[in-house]
Amino acid sequence: MTIRRATEADRDLLRTLSGEFALERPPPPYVRLDDEERLADVDKALAAGAAFVAELDGDPVGFALAFPRPSDVFLEDLFVRPHVRRRGIGRALVQAVGAYGRDREKAVMTLNVDTGNVEALGLYRALGFRDESLYLAADLSALEAALGTQAGGASFGSIHVQTDDAGAVERAVGQFLPRLPGESKGTVVVPPRNGWTSVYDELCDREPELLRRLARELSDRLGVVVLALGVEREAVVHYVLYERRRVMDEYRSLPEYDGPRAPGDVVALGANPTVVARLTGANPAEVRRVARTGKTPGDVPPARDLLRDLAAAMGVEGGDHGFALAGA
């Protein structure tokens, strides 16, 4: 194997190899890199003396193009023909570009690589390259839909107290609601259904955090299991099960909807069917089936459908709506 610096006589060869590379790894559809631009990179690298050809038994089998920049040498393209890969040719081309950068007193080599190019990623990481930035892309129609959901989607929820003593619930609600920031336009306490007394409040519909705060206070005051259950921004189904103020289980259908979380936190926001069964009498298999999680809204059922199925799995009537329908 030989790695040599390309000359003007190699221009057509480099263009041929560059064309093979473009066919194998075309750019994303939103990147319009025409042949003229691609061939201009060949000319630019040749002019800088930073184009290299790999030969095996006299046959050209790969190439690399690089550009010197003020603080680094940038590896623009690296390609090895498929039939001779895994023979160290890619490594040798990287070494040649590195030597070129050292000769010009560059301390760093940089490059871009598609996340789907697993083979190239493996090579570069094995050679010590590290992630310095992340280039992200989003379809604008999907982005606009997500932004619209986050900005204007409705939130609503309900609280379900595991007691038949509706009077005690009413007294506790009356004591704690005035402590919540903001003004409520109405509260409804629904008499027991299946052993649960339900609470709906207009302010807590608008502010899901206040819904959970009231549920926690009721659990502490009454010493019973309390469920806060609802939809946030028409996208995320969220429940918290309290027992004597303690959070016993918490679930979010889209754990990272508001941003990345540590892997352990994502796992913790999945439903625990065993705990749910113990506290609500639900069938664990049904909870496991219904309480799915995902990364985007498309990964799980529509939020209102998921909320309805989750409430049914727990045996909670009226868990599929908020204050606006509570008195209907």
Q: Are residues 17 and 69 both part of a single domain?
A: yes
Q: Is the pLDDT of residue 328 over 70?
A: no
Structural domain total, the chain: 2
Q: Is the pLDDT of residue 186 over 60?
A: yes
Q: What is the mean pLDDT of residues 304-317?
A: 95
Q: Is the pLDDT of residue 169 over 60?
A: yes
- In tens, the pLDDT along 100-153 reads 999 999 999 999 998 888 889 999 999 999 988 888 887 776 666 555 555 557
Q: Is the residue at 21 inside a domain? A: yes
Q: Are residues 106 and 214 both part of a single domain?
A: no
Alpha-helix runs per DSSP H in the chain: 11-24, 35-47, 89-103, 118-126, 140-152, 166-176, 202-206, 208-222, 263-268, 273-280, 284-290, 303-314, 323-326
The pLDDT value given to residue 161: 97
Q: Are residues 158 and 121 both part of a single domain?
A: no
pTM of the predicted protein model: 0.57
Domain residues for the domain of 320 are 154-326
Burial profile 286-309: b = 16 or more Cβ within 10 angstroms, e = fewer: bbbebbbbeeebeebbebeebbbb
Q: Is the residue at 134 inside a domain? A: no
Q: What percent of the chain has pLDDT over 90?
A: 70
Q: Is the residue at 240 inside a domain? A: yes
* Confidence bin at 294 (pLDDT 50/70/90): very high
Which residue type does 99 have? Answer: A
Q: Is the residue at 132 inside a domain? A: no
The pLDDT value given to residue 147: 58
The pLDDT value given to residue 30: 65
